[in-house]
Structure 1
Amino acid sequence: MPLPNKSHTSLASRKSSFFNAHQLANPPQPDVYYVGVDVGTGSARACLIDTNGIILGLSERPIKRHELKPNFITQNSTEIWNSICYCVKNCLRDSGVDPSEVFGIGFDATCSLVAINKDSDEPQAVGPDFSDHKENIILWMDHRAPDETNEINATGDKALKYVGGQMSIEMELPKIKWLKHNAPGGIDSMVFFDLPDFLTHRATKSNARSYNSTVCKQGFVPFGVEGSTTGWSKEFLESVDLHELVANDFEKLGGIPGKNGDFKSAGEIVGKLSAQAAEELGLTTECIVGSGVIDAYAGWIGTVAGKVDIPNAPEFSEESNGSISNSCGRLAAVAGTSTCHIAMTKDACFVKGVWGPYKDVMAPGYWLAEGGQSCTGALLAHVLAIHPANSELAHLAEASNLSKFDYLNLILETLTSDNKLRSVVSLAKHVFFYGDFHGNRSPIADPRMRASIIGQSMDSSVNDLAVQYFGACEFIAQQTRQIVEEMEKGGHEIDCVYMSGGQCRNGLLMRLLADCTGKPIIIPRYIDAAVVFGSALLGAVASKDSVDEHIKLRGRSRRSSILKSQTSLNNLTSTHSRQTSDYEEPHSPYTAPTATTSSTNMSTLVYASGHAGSHHQMNTMTPLGEEQADYFGGEGQKNQDSDSDEEEQTLSFGSKQNVQQDVQKGIHNKLQGLNLKPLTPSKAKKAESNPGDKLWKIMENMTGPGRVILPSDEQHPDRKLLNAKYKIFLEQCYKQQEYRNLVDQVEEENLKSLKKH
Structure 2
Amino acid sequence: MIQPKEGYYIGIDVGTGSARACLIDHHGEIVDVASENIGLWQPQQEYYEQSTSDIWRCICLVVRRTLDNKNISPSLVHGIGFDATCSLSLFSAKTDQPVSVTGPDFNTDRNVILWLDHRATKETEVINATGHNVLRYVGGKMSLEMEIPKILWLKNNMPEETFSDCKFFDLVDALTHIATGGDTRSFSSMVCKQAYIPKGVDGSEKGWQEDFLQDIGLGELGDRGFDRIGGVNGETGRHLHAGEFAGELCEESARQLGLNPGTAVGSGVIDAYAGWIGTVGAKVEMDTTRHLINGELVRSGSNERKEVFSRLAVVAGTSSCHIAMSPDHVFVPGVWGPYRDTTFPGCWMAEGGQSATGQLLKHVLETHPAFEEAQTKAQGLGVNIFEFLNSKLQDLAIQRKLPSIADLARHFFFYGDLFGNRSPLADSSMRGSIVGLSSDVSIDALAIHYYGTLEFIALQTKQIVDTMNGSGHQIRSIFMSGSQCQNHILVNLIASACNMPVVIPRYIHAAVCHGAAMLGVKAASVDANGTTADLWDVIDHMSQPGEAFYPSTDEHENAILKAKYQIFLDQSSRQREYRAIMDRATC
Relative to the length of structure 2, the TM-score reads 0.94
Pick one of 39, 45, 50 that aligns with 1:70: 45
2:260 alignment counterpart: 284
Pick one of 131, 140, 154 that aligns with 1:156: 131
**1:427-454 Cα distance to aligned partner (Å, 9 max, x none):** 2111111111111111111111111111
- The structure whose Rg is larger is 1
Output aligned runs, 1:432-443, within 5 Å. 432-443=413-424
* Aligned partners of 2:24 and 2:517 also within 8 Å: yes
Q: Once the two structures are aligned, what percentage of the paired residues are identical?
A: 46
Give the direction of change, closer, same or farther, for the CA distance of 1:311–1:474 in structure 2 (3 Å limit).
closer
1:270 alignment counterpart: 246
Write the distance in 1 (CA, Å) between the matches of 2:176 and 2:344: 18
Write the distance in 2 (CA, Å) between the matches of 1:316 and 1:242: 47
Write the distance in 2 (CA, Å) between the matches of 1:203 and 1:194: 14
Write the distance in 2 (CA, Å) between the matches of 1:444 and 1:705: 35
Output aligned runs, 1:411-450, within 5 Å. 411-450=392-431
Pick one of 279, 296, 317 that aligns with 2:272: 296
Write the distance in 1 (CA, Å) between the matches of 2:583 and 2:106: 43
Displacement after TM superposition at 1:316 (Å): 5.2
Give the direction of change, closer, same or farther, for the CA distance of 1:178–1:476 in structure 2 (3 Å limit).
same
SS at match of 2:280: coil
SS at match of 1:459: coil
- The aligned amino acid for 2:519 is L
Write the distance in 2 (CA, Å) between the matches of 1:318 and 1:136: 44
Give the direction of change, closer, same or farther, for the CA distance of 1:343–1:506 in structure 2 (3 Å limit).
same
- The aligned amino acid for 2:403 is R
Displacement after TM superposition at 1:71 (Å): 2.3
Output aligned runs, 1:21-420, within 5 Å. 31-184=6-159, 185-204=161-180, 205-207=182-184, 208-211=186-189, 213-215=191-193, 218-310=194-286, 320-321=303-304, 323=305, 325-420=306-401
Runs of 5+ in structure 2 lacking a partner?
290-296
- The answer to whether structure 1 residue 698 and structure 2 residue 569 are counterparts is no
Write the distance in 1 (CA, Å) between the matches of 2:533 and 2:179: 26
Displacement after TM superposition at 1:211 (Å): 3.9
Write the distance in 2 (CA, Å) between the matches of 1:48 and 1:138: 29
* Aligned partners of 1:212 and 1:294 also within 8 Å: no
Give the direction of change, closer, same or farther, for the CA distance of 1:74–1:318 in structure 2 (3 Å limit).
closer
SS at match of 1:264: coil
Displacement after TM superposition at 1:704 (Å): 0.8
**1:513-551 Cα distance to aligned partner (Å, 9 max, x none):** 1111111011111011010111000111111246xx9xx
* Aligned partners of 1:290 and 1:539 also within 8 Å: yes
The count of aligned residue pairs is 575
SS at match of 2:534: helix
Displacement after TM superposition at 1:270 (Å): 0.5
Give the direction of change, closer, same or farther, for the CA distance of 1:103–1:129 in structure 2 (3 Å limit).
farther
- The answer to whether structure 1 residue 506 and structure 2 residue 482 are counterparts is no
**1:698-737 Cα distance to aligned partner (Å, 9 max, x none):** 1011111110001123x62111111111111111111111
Runs of 5+ in structure 1 lacking a partner?
1-24, 550-690, 749-757
Displacement after TM superposition at 1:133 (Å): 3.8
Give the direction of change, closer, same or farther, for the CA distance of 1:692–1:104 in structure 2 (3 Å limit).
closer
Write the distance in 2 (CA, Å) between the matches of 1:209 and 1:119: 17
1:637 alignment counterpart: none
* Aligned partners of 1:48 and 1:536 also within 8 Å: yes
- The aligned amino acid for 1:441 is R
* Aligned partners of 1:180 and 1:186 also within 8 Å: no
SS at match of 1:226: coil
* Aligned partners of 1:26 and 1:52 also within 8 Å: no
- The aligned amino acid for 2:267 is S
- The aligned amino acid for 1:700 is D
**1:301-345 Cα distance to aligned partner (Å, 9 max, x none):** 000011112367798598655x3x331010011111110100011
2:585 alignment counterpart: 746
Write the distance in 1 (CA, Å) between the matches of 2:203 and 2:178: 33
Write the distance in 2 (CA, Å) between the matches of 1:311 and 1:442: 31
- The aligned amino acid for 1:709 is F
* Aligned partners of 2:282 and 2:505 also within 8 Å: yes
Displacement after TM superposition at 1:55 (Å): 0.8
**1:359-400 Cα distance to aligned partner (Å, 9 max, x none):** 111111111111111110011111111111011011100000
Which moved further from structure 2: 224-233 or 415-424?
224-233
Output aligned runs, 1:579-618, within 5 Å. none
SS at match of 1:225: coil
Write the distance in 1 (CA, Å) between the matches of 2:20 and 2:377: 33
* Aligned partners of 1:387 and 1:460 also within 8 Å: yes
SS at match of 1:44: strand
- The aligned amino acid for 1:283 is L
- The answer to whether structure 1 residue 712 and structure 2 residue 580 are counterparts is no
Pick one of 526, 537, 562 that aligns with 1:723: 562
SS at match of 2:164: coil
Give the direction of change, closer, same or farther, for the CA distance of 1:278–1:293 in structure 2 (3 Å limit).
same
Write the distance in 2 (CA, Å) between the matches of 1:694 and 1:365: 13
Relative to the length of structure 1, the TM-score reads 0.74
- The aligned amino acid for 1:521 is V
1:688 alignment counterpart: none
Displacement after TM superposition at 1:237 (Å): 1.1
Pick one of 552, 573, 576 that aligns with 1:734: 573
* Aligned partners of 1:69 and 1:128 also within 8 Å: no
**1:605-638 Cα distance to aligned partner (Å, 9 max, x none):** xxxxxxxxxxxxxxxxxxxxxxxxxxxxxxxxxx
- The aligned amino acid for 1:96 is N
Write the distance in 1 (CA, Å) between the matches of 2:533 and 2:401: 53
Displacement after TM superposition at 1:72 (Å): 2.2
Write the distance in 2 (CA, Å) between the matches of 1:125 and 1:316: 51
SS at match of 2:226: helix
1:542 alignment counterpart: 523
Output aligned runs, 1:659-698, within 5 Å. 694-698=534-538
Give the direction of change, closer, same or farther, for the CA distance of 1:212–1:457 in structure 2 (3 Å limit).
farther
* Aligned partners of 2:339 and 2:348 also within 8 Å: yes
